[in-house]
Amino acid sequence: MATVAAIGTRTRVSGLALAGVDVLVAEDADAVRQAWRTLPRTVGLVILTAEAAEALRGAMTAPAPSRPLTVVMPG
């Protein structure tokens, strides 16, 4: 079964843990990219803050069969 993960600053994503989301706190662009690279294969959906999405620009849109679905939280 696929899981859900969230990447972003602690203040924006920590509450999602209450809903069972795997929270990956990333306070800067380098940490966002590191979190993205180390996502477990079981992750089927990634929730990103707007800042995290900006840090990942090309990585999110690069075609790959194993790339998880992504959504961006409103600013």
pTM over 0.75: yes
Q: How many CA atoms lie within 13 A of 75 on its CB side?
A: 4
DSSP single-letter state for residue 58? H
Q: pLDDT by residue (tens digit) across 4-62? A: 999 999 999 999 999 999 999 999 999 999 999 999 989 999 999 999 999 998 776 56
Has residue 66 got a pLDDT over 80?
A: no
β partners of residue 4: 45
